[in-house]
A and B are shown apart, each in its own frame.
Chain A
């Protein structure tokens, strides 16, 4: 059983399109996250949710809208995609909001052409 899963694994789309990435965790964790890894492999937090409530929005453009229908899911919708959005997006989850280790999904490689 995969602990944190993401779909799709690869996403190729054109500028201006809208796309979504889905994330599910079966660990029973309360907290979920989205991270962005750029072409230089630098990882940066985008959002964190705790019990479906937004905790962190790390100065992410409004075109990015996370949605958490329940504690096990955190989806990421991106409007009007831009070239600079090309990256690998990782979902993660943790048991608690602070101090606990985070479990990462396999990543979604988004390529905007």
Chain B
């Protein structure tokens, strides 16, 4: 069965520093991969998605992620953190013929220090 693991439930960076949020998945077939962001008391907003095109995916707000099949990883990065990036980040996987469901990782809370 497919699963998603996000390493680190809390990540803290200084403003202007590199953001790296880790995501590993397990799947027997090529997956679709997503990163979502959730700000306090709000719904989830799509940051970016991988759907078997380019392995380096650029998203909104300066985020990007690289799909590495050999490592079964889809880590999220941003070169320079901004205070407004503080939020909960979720990695998710979806497979064909699975009813469209997203399987989420446990989430990583990103804190940005001034």
Contacts and interface: CB of A to CB of B under 8 A. Distances in A.
Interface of A: 4, 31, 33, 35, 40-45, 48, 50, 55-56, 58, 90, 92, 94, 96-107
A40 B41 CA distance: 14
Contacts of B102: 35, 43, 45, 102
Contacts, number: 68
B90 interface: yes
A97 B43 contact: no
A48 B99 contact: yes
A22 to B, nearest CB: 15
28 contacts: A4-B43, A31-B100, A35-B102, A40-B106, A42-B107, A43-B102, A43-B104, A44-B104, A45-B102, A48-B99, A48-B100, A48-B101, A50-B100, A56-B100, A56-B101, A90-B43, A94-B100, A97-B99, A98-B95, A98-B96, A98-B98, A99-B32, A100-B100, A101-B34, A103-B46, A104-B36, A106-B42, A107-B41
A41 B6 CA distance: 13
Interface string B76-114: 000000000000101000111111111110110000000
Contacts of A40: 106
A33 B101 contact: yes
A41 B46 contact: no
A105 B43 contact: yes
B95 A43 contact: no
Interface centre among B88, B96, B103, B104 (most CB of A within 10 A): B104
B99 A56 contact: yes
A45 B44 CA distance: 14
B72 interface: no
A55 B51 CA distance: 22
B100 A55 contact: yes
Interface centre among B90, B100, B101 (most CB of A within 10 A): B100
B45 interface: yes
